[in-house]
Amino acid sequence: MLEIKELRRIPRFSGLPEKAELFLAERIKRSSYKKGEMIFLEGEENNRFHIVEEGEVKVYKTLESGREIILGIFNAGEALGEVAILDAIDMPASAVAQEPTSVLSMTSQDYILMLEKYPEVAMRIIRDLSLRLRTLRKHIEMLGENGIATRIAHLLVTYARQNGRQINGDGVLVPLHLTRAEMASMVSARIETVIRIMSRWHKKNIVHSVPEGFHIPNIQILEAIIHQEED
Amino acid sequence: MLEIKELRRIPRFSGLPEKAELFLAERIKRSSYKKGEMIFLEGEENNRFHIVEEGEVKVYKTLESGREIILGIFNAGEALGEVAILDAIDMPASAVAQEPTSVLSMTSQDYILMLEKYPEVAMRIIRDLSLRLRTLRKHIEMLGENGIATRIAHLLVTYARQNGRQINGDGVLVPLHLTRAEMASMVSARIETVIRIMSRWHKKNIVHSVPEGFHIPNIQILEAIIHQEED
DNA sequence: CGACCCGTTGACAGAATTCAATGTGTGTGG
DNA sequence: CCACACACATTGAATTCTGTCAACGGGTCG
């Protein structure tokens, strides 16, 4: 059982009525995953609703053709698997830890039960879903960009705005752990194309891959690229 | 004021407690639009929540670059503008009637009020949002396809499965009213590219543009194209 | 008739994919 | 510790796909 104190640290669950907190704390399970470990698998029936407590999670879908398409990268505080809950369908995607990760989860049944017992939380869930919708729309906008370079710029800028940490006078560090293949999948391009763009940008001091993610000395250059002005 | 009978015809609102029905009927407004008329505009503050009763609606966003990106085409029974409701932000997209269209709408305030008074409907709203999430995911999958032809095939097949009407032994009729420019925007390509593909397919008897939408004699051909087998 | 939107076609330049080869680091088994 | 497989990053060259530019036809509306 989770401690109430810990529960309250999760923005999504803070400020709930005490009874609801207790209800949740009793049912939420914490799990830890090493880098590369699966959190859930496409097709699984054992639907759970997850929240990332710490770390980085990749959610993806494998198409019939074998190609993997990445639906999103999730960080602390974000929810996973909201979709499968109400319809009790199989999980429609897989999730894997990109970094050492800790997630909180509860069964879909408990999730729905909570809704029925504590309608006050419905609003919160609805807000989460709306937020997710907006994220997906951003993703679609990114995929709608003209060239691959623009799409990569869009991707990096979006995550930088979301999770970037300012560095003392040296731009932003974006904690995002993607291989070139994963980046390629996200922007719908081939690995080689991504590599060529990233290495060009590396030489031009626009973006650097570092162990912690990406280092962007001057994010305005990327923003300019999105607005068509070449690179 | 809407008649309760009419209200019940909307799947989303059928089977509600009587009080909720009354509450809704009092606040829902029906509006009709001619082809080409705007239903709401990006940036508007007057947030309303809409449901398509009849017709076809295009929801799109205009990027700073002036390019229009289409977020979806909505048909009878589908909801629009769920996103802007809770956060009381401006409408993030515009909507236009592609065909003579009738929509039901209510203010965001009433929508939220309904949630607070009748928590039973929350589940329904959550289900709607989940559904929308799934649609957006499909859209992302489409944009993730390799070539433009594959993306168009994906687009057509998706809408055919959703709204296609079987024709006696002559394939499917998809009621989807898009210009070539709109198709181009949806699949993230240039008009000319779309035209070339569509006219090739027309000659090969794979898809025909008809006044009612698209006629697909044999949808399996399109499905094969999605699975890489050329066209 | 002229303005305008939509669909169409051709030629060409530029972008991205494909194919092939290579380097680098990591972990495993002998 | 070495050999080897394996995952990831990289590069070059050839080919294919798309975007761009330009021009044109048909239809509608005022």
CB contact under 8 Å between A85 and B130, yes or no, is: yes
pLDDT at position B88 is 66
If one compares A52 and B7, the residue with the highest pLDDT of the two is A52
Give percent of chain B with pLDDT exceeding 70: 98
> E strands, chain A, where?
29-33, 38-40, 48-54, 56-62, 68-75, 79-80, 94-97, 101-107, 165-166, 172-174, 208-210, 213-216
To which H or E segment does residue B105 belong?
A: strand B101-107
- In whole numbers, what is the pLDDT of chain B averaged over residues? 90
Inform me whether the C-beta atom of residue B211 falls under 8 Å from chain A C-beta atoms.
Answer: no
What is the rounded CA–CA span in Å between residue A189 and residue B145?
9
Residue B156 has pLDDT above 90, yes or no: yes
DSSP tag of B180: H
Find, in chain A, the residue whose alpha carbon is nearest to that of B92: A134
Averaged pLDDT for residues A63-76? 87
Query: Are the C-beta atoms of residues B70 and B60 closer than 8 Å to each other?
Result: yes
Q: Measured between alpha carbons, how far is residue B123 from residues A113, A208, B13, B69, B115 in Å?
A: 11, 45, 12, 31, 10
Residues in chain A: 231
Q: Quick check: A6 and A67 in contact, CB under 8 A?
A: no
Exposure string for A157-196, b = 16+ CB within 10 A, e = fewer: bbbbeebbeeeeeebbbbebbbebebbbbbbbbeeebbee
Q: Which residue has the higher pLDDT, B62 or B176?
A: B176
Which helix H or strand E contains B214, and what residues bound it? Answer: strand B213-216
A85 interaction partners in chain B (CB closer than 8 Å): 130
- Contacting residues 22-81/A vs strand D (CB within 7 A): none
How far, in Å, CA of B60 to CA of A177, rounded? 32
Beta carbons of A143 and B141 less than 8 Å apart: no
pLDDT at B50: 93
Tell me if A71 and B145 make a contact (CB, 8 A cut-off). Answer: no
Least confident of A12-16, A19-23, A38-42, A58-62: A12-16
Mean of pLDDT over chain A: 91
Chain B residues whose CB is inside 8 A of the A132 CB are: 133
Q: What's the pLDDT tens digit per position in A86-140?
A: 776 788 899 999 999 999 999 988 988 888 888 778 888 888 888 899 999 999 9
A55: which DSSP letter? S
The shortest C-alpha distance from B171 to chain A (Å) reads 24
Percent over 90 (pLDDT), chain B: 61
Report pLDDT for A207: 97
Q: Do B122 and A119 touch (CB under 8 A)?
A: yes
What structural domains and CATH numbers belong to chain A? Answer: 4-140 (2.60.120.10), 146-230 (1.10.10.10)
Q: How far is CA A60 from CA A39, A97, A101, in A?
A: 12, 11, 17
Q: How far apart are CA A220 and CA A216, in angstroms?
A: 9
Of how many residues is chain B composed? 231
Categorize the per-residue pLDDT at A9 as very low, low, confident or very high, splitting at 50, 70 and 90.
Answer: confident
Higher pLDDT, B188 or A130: B188
pLDDT computed for residue B229 by the predictor: 66
| pLDDT at position A202 over 80 | yes
Is residue A27 pLDDT above 70, yes or no? Answer: yes
pLDDT tens string B109-147: 888 888 888 877 888 888 888 889 999 999 999 999 999
Tell me what the mean pLDDT of segment A145-150 comes to.
94
pLDDT in the model for residue B1: 75
Nucleotide nearest A209, from its CA to each C1'? D9
Average pLDDT over residues A15-43: 91
How far apart are the C-alpha atoms of B155 and B36, rounded to whole Å?
A: 22
> In the prediction, which pLDDT does B108 show?
86
Q: Provide the pLDDT for residue A3.
A: 81
Q: Of A62, A63, A104, A107, which is closest to residue A84 (Cα–Cα)? A: A107
Show the tokens assigned to A167: 């560095």
- Could you write out the three-class secondary structure of A76-93? CCCEECCHHHHHCCCCCC
pLDDT tier for residue A61 given thresholds of 50, 70 and 90 = very high
Alpha carbon of B77 to those of A203, B102, B178: distances in Å?
A: 52, 11, 20
CA A53 to chain centre: 12
Averaged over A181-192, what is the pLDDT?
Answer: 97
pTM summary value: 0.93
pLDDT of residue A137: 93
The two tokens of residue A165 are 């940490």
pLDDT of residue B100: 94
Q: Which residue of B has its CA nearest to A227?
A: B65
pLDDT at B5 over 70: yes
Binned at pLDDT 50, 70 and 90, residue A67 comes out as: confident
pLDDT for residue A82: 78
CA–CA separation, A153 vs B110, rounded Å?
Answer: 40
